[in-house]
Amino acid sequence: MASKEMLDMLNKAIARELQVTIQYMWQHVMWKGVKGFSVKDELKSIGITEMKHAEEIAERLTYLGGTPTTKPEPIFVGGTLKEMIEHDKKDEEGAIQMYKDLIKMADKEGDEVTKRMFQKILADEEEHHDTFSGLLEEI
């Protein structure tokens, strides 16, 4: 059904989504001060969206015959608000590139469902990147 390369990429995407779900949730919990107060709810919301992405990708991977990973990529909480948001922005940039590659791979394999799923997820990740970019302007 799907190539081993596709299944491996889907698992890498799950590991990434698990990573940022945990990362953003811990950052949400750990924010301090006025600046932190202004962004903590946004981080919580983004974290919940990322959790939903992990679930959706895992369901697709299972359908395609794979077994979803339970291991996240390395989690970075950070020490300062600026450090956290800069790292989060880079994580979103990595996701954007990975999901563009997955869209191309799905297209090449004729998998329209996976392609459409990642086009939708890609739009969310670009929105998250925009949010983190905007937050950095104020830190």
- At 25-37, the pLDDT tens digits run 999 988 877 777 7
Q: How many domains does the chain have?
A: 1
Domain, as residue range, for 22 = 4-66+77-138
Instruction: Enter the pTM of the model.
Output: 0.94
Q: Name the token pair of 27.
A: 């950052």
Note whether residue 72 is domain-resident: no
- Residue 61 and residue 68: Cα distance in Å, rounded? 7
Query: What are the tens digits of pLDDT across the range 50-76?
Result: 999 999 999 999 999 999 999 999 999
pLDDT by residue (tens digit) across 72-84?
999 998 888 889 9
Q: What is the CATH number of the domain that holds 127?
A: 1.20.1260.10
